[in-house]
Amino acid sequence: MGTTVRAEPLRFYDGGAGEEPPRRDRPPRIVLERRLSGEQERFVMLRRVGYADRHLGELLVPADPARFTTDLTSVPTVFAWLVPRTGRHLPAALVHDALVAHTGEPAYVSRGGRVDRVEADRVFRDAMADTGTGVVRRWLAWSAVTLATIVVAPGAQLPWGPAVGWWRRGVAVGSLLLIGWLGWCASWDLVDRGAWLAVPVPWVPESTLGVELAHGAAGAVVVPLLLGLLWGRFRVAGAVLGVGLALLLHVTVLVAALTLLYRAVEAVATRVPLLAGAVLVGGVAASVVLVLDALV
């Protein structure tokens, strides 16, 4: 499978609407209708998107707009700063959503027949290149959907059997958990402190903080690259996710903590507004006292 793709924006085109036929001479028109059910936000595509894939040929999504909805780019909130739900990559995300949709009949039209999930992920990566999505973002996004294919899509159409599927799932989850644990250990090693389940890591020597940081960063690259080899044909995804997790571990934890804090505050403010008001007044009062104490 080739990994270098030259961007060709004209591969995307207007897929038409209703009885209106696709038009290869027109750029894609993305027209969405928002459907909200509780906290779940979905969108109906009022016009189809056409894409000429390099291997599969013509793809048209969705096959039946009445039976297909999308959440745009499926990404956890904690990673939205890296890969937002919408943006330049949106046409590719819509195509991918249709290719992997579980709607019984295919949610896409393809002259090449059924598209398995691994091939759908490859289409997503190539299509992102054609939209002009940056190299780092598209490889991160492809690696993320590849992880989803391996771990959380066991019922999808996959080009391997159950035994291989369980092996791939174990390797992916195990290697990422190991990287997370090593990052935990390295973090406490850097500050020369002990913590639960933390042990010294051999690539961080006892030295100045700058030297220890440099060695820690080197380990955050080398170790995930080696563990990524265990992913076999998906070793690139394993390496990208592993290095990304190791280097962005602290940022991710901080964003996750702030996200949880926000949701807790929002819930209290919505359900118990008097308590929220009291906490706000108390917090402001405490802040004023601390500032005055420092100035006096």
The separation between the first and the last C-alpha atoms of the chain, rounded to the nearest angstrom, is 69
The pLDDT of residue 283 is above 60: yes
Rounded average pLDDT over 54-67: 91
What pLDDT does 155 receive?
60
Coil vs helix vs strand at 206: coil
Say whether pLDDT at 139 is over 90.
yes
Give percent of the chain with pLDDT exceeding 90.
Answer: 61
CA distance 289 to 133: 50
| pLDDT number for residue 126 | 96
- Mean pLDDT rounded to a whole number for the chain: 90
105: left (phi over 0), alpha (psi -120 to 50) or beta: beta
pLDDT at res. 156: 64
- Give pLDDT, residue 276: 82
| Nearest Cα residue to 130 out of 23, 209, 34, 12 | 12
Percent of residues, the chain, with pLDDT higher than 70: 97
pLDDT at residue 153 is higher than 80: no
Lowest mean pLDDT across 13-17, 59-63, 222-226, 256-260: 256-260
pLDDT of residue 1 exceeding 60, the answer is no
Q: What's the Cα-to-Cα distance from 145 to each of 18, 94, 187, 237, 258, rounded to whole Å?
A: 30, 13, 28, 9, 25
Between 268 and 155, the more confident residue is 268
What is d(CA 226, CA 223) in angstroms, rounded to the nearest whole number? 5
Nearest to 145 by CA among 166, 127, 131: 127
135-151 helix and 162-190 helix, angle to the nearest 10 degrees: 120
pLDDT, tens only, 166-183: 999 999 999 999 999 999
Joined together, the tokens standing for residue 249 give 């571990």
The CA-CA-CA angle for residues 190, 193, 199, to 5°, reads 80
Position 116 pLDDT exceeds 60: yes
**pLDDT in the model for residue 154:** 61
State pTM to two decimals.
Answer: 0.87
Torsion over CA: 112, 114, 120, 124 (sign) = positive
Whether 2 shows a pLDDT value over 60: the answer reads no
Copy the structure tokens of residue 6: 């030259």
Q: What is the mean pLDDT of residues 258-281?
A: 88
Strands (E), the chain: 12-14, 32-37, 40-45, 49-53, 57-61, 69-70, 109-110
pLDDT in tens, 220-267: 999 999 999 999 999 999 999 999 999 998 888 888 898 888 888 888
Strands 49-53 and 109-110: unpaired
Sign of the CA dihedral 71, 72, 76, 80?
Answer: negative
Q: Residue 147's closest CA among 248, 241, 230, 223?
A: 241
Output Rg (C-alpha) for the chain, integer angstroms: 24
Over 90: is that where the pLDDT of 146 sits? yes
